[in-house]
């Protein structure tokens, strides 16, 4: 899907799909597991085609959602790296660093347009509008992060809304699309959506913790890239509730390294990290409950996939990178 006619664009668009830098492929994994987890027979009004052919075609369409989701995700990474002036990604030079901003922006646009073509080929208007909404959410979330008032910077509600737009919308709406393509009921589609939403929020909250702690439990061992870019995340927001004087430090910004140290000092004294982990666990548990609420099935593959989806909710919480 990501092959382009112009060689320069081709090598740029394929950059993060190559072996070794393809990332964790977290989203496609979730979506293909969700496809099997929802593979419960839905009564067909006119069983004309053999079931095998139907399920093969459905699987191909659901796999297409996984491909589209990964392309939208990678496009957003390319554009984010330009906006953040990043120089590395996945352990190698970022595309903008290696090939320049213009090509990185165009490659992101190209991946989005390829995702649109694939999406249109599914000929399902509800699914098209779900994933079009996701792209709008990615843009909205990024803009919310760039343009905050001092009041918004200190608001947990604003932060969670931004996190939904930037991280959780893609996985939640893609999970819902998987259910819709399978012809599932509205109730099941909502459970799939809720799984994705809560998994996505838990994932990001743990990311926020790891930015401070890295692989060790001790503070300041992470990359601290958020706070250095002036991005206030959940651990600091929770610390502010305990130490309101931290608000003044946040308002001054973090161009001065002394302010970063001061914020870390307050964070260390607070329960910020712990409360962020607890909030992540709460969302992970809600995600697991959504899977447990799906209609019962005796099919071993279905049950295995559901167990894997529940297992992912634990992995998201316990990961160290």
- pLDDT at residue 43 is higher than 80: no
Only one residue has tokens 């964790």, namely 24
- pLDDT at residue 19 is higher than 70: no
Sequence-ordered alpha helix ranges (H) in 44-100? 51-84, 95-99
Q: Give the per-residue pLDDT at 102.
A: 85
- Report, as an integer, the average pLDDT of 194-221: 84
Residues 73-102 have pLDDT tens digits of 888 888 878 777 767 676 677 777 877 788
Number of other residues whose CB lies within 10 A of the CB of residue 98: 14
- Residue 319 Cα distances to 55, 186, 271, angstroms: 34, 33, 20
Confidence of residue 215 (pLDDT cuts 50, 70, 90): low
Higher pLDDT residue, 25 or 2? 25
- Report, as an integer, the average pLDDT of 204-215: 87
Report the range out of 22-26, 58-62, 305-309 with the highest average pLDDT.
305-309
Distance CA 203, CA 313 (A): 9
Taking alpha carbons only, the member of 211, 83, 86 closest to residue 144 is 83
Higher pLDDT residue, 114 or 15? 114
Q: Give the per-residue pLDDT at 100.
A: 77
Confidence of residue 218 (pLDDT cuts 50, 70, 90): low
Q: Give the per-residue pLDDT at 181.
A: 94
Distance CA 135, CA 97 (A): 24
Instruction: State the average pLDDT for the chain.
Output: 86
Only one residue has tokens 């320069």, namely 8
Residues 147-194 have pLDDT tens digits of 888 888 888 999 999 999 999 999 999 999 999 999 999 999 999 999
Q: Give the per-residue pLDDT at 55.
A: 80
Cβ pair 196, 290 in contact under 8 A: no
Contacts of 295 (CB under 8 A, 6+ apart): 40, 188
Residues 120-148 have pLDDT tens digits of 999 999 999 999 999 999 999 989 988 88
Higher pLDDT residue, 276 or 55? 276
Taking alpha carbons only, the member of 294, 282, 238, 243 closest to residue 266 is 243
Radius of gyration of the chain (CA): 21
% of the chain residues with pLDDT over 70: 89
Computed from CA positions of residues 79, 156, 283, 173, in that sequence, does the dihedral angle turn out positive or negative?
A: negative
pTM listed for this prediction: 0.88
Q: Which residues of 248-273 are buried (b: 16+ CB within 10 A; e: fewer)?
A: ebbeeebeeeebbebbbbbbeebebb
Confidence of residue 222 (pLDDT cuts 50, 70, 90): low
Cβ pair 112, 132 in contact under 8 A: no
Query: 287 by DSSP, 3-state: which?
Result: helix
Distance CA 201, CA 280 (A): 7
Distance CA 94, CA 110 (A): 17
**Residues paired with 93 in a beta bridge:** 88
Question: What DSSP character marks residue 74?
Answer: H
Confidence of residue 20 (pLDDT cuts 50, 70, 90): low
Taking alpha carbons only, the member of 276, 252, 253 closest to residue 159 is 276
Out of 54-58, 109-113, 206-210, 297-301, which region has the weakest mean confidence (pLDDT)?
54-58
């Amino acid at each position: 899907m990501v092959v382009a006619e112009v060689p320069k664009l081709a090598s740029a668009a394929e950059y993060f799909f190559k072996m070794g830098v393809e990332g964790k492929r977290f989203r496609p994994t979730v979506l293909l597991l969700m496809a099997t987890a929802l593979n419960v027979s839905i009564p067909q009004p006119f069983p004309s085609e053999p079931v095998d052919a139907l399920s093969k075609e459905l699987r191909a369409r659901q796999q297409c959602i996984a491909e589209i989701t990964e392309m939208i995700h990678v496009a957003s990474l390319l554009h984010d790296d330009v906006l953040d002036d990043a120089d590395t990604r996945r352990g190698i030079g970022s595309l903008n660093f290696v090939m320049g901003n213009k090509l990185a922006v165009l490659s992101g646009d190209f991946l989005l347009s390829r995702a649109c073509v694939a999406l249109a080929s599914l000929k399902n208007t509800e699914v098209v509008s779900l994933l079009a909404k996701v792209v709008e959410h990615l843009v909205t979330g990024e803009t919310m992060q760039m343009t905050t008032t001092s009041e918004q910077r200190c608001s947990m509600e604003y932060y969670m809304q931004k996190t939904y737009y930037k991280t959780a919308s893609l996985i939640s709406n893609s999970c819902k699309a998987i259910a819709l393509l399978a012809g599932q009921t509205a109730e099941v589609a909502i459970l799939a959506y809720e799984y994705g939403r809560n998994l996505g929020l838990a994932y990001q909250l743990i990311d926020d913790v790891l930015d401070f702690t890295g692989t060790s439990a001790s503070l300041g061992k992470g990359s601290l890239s958020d706070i250095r870019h002036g991005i206030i995340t959940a651990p600091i927001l929770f610390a502010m509730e305990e130490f309101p004087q931290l608000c003044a430090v946040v308002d001054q910004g973090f161009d001065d390294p002394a302010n970063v140290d001061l914020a870390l000092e307050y964070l260390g004294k607070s329960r910020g990290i712990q409360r962020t982990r607890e909030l992540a666990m709460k969302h992970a548990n809600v995600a697991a409950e959504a899977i447990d609420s799906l209609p019962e099935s005796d099919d071993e593959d279905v049950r295995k996939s559901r167990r894997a989806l529940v297992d992912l909710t634990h992995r998201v919480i316990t990961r160290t990178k």
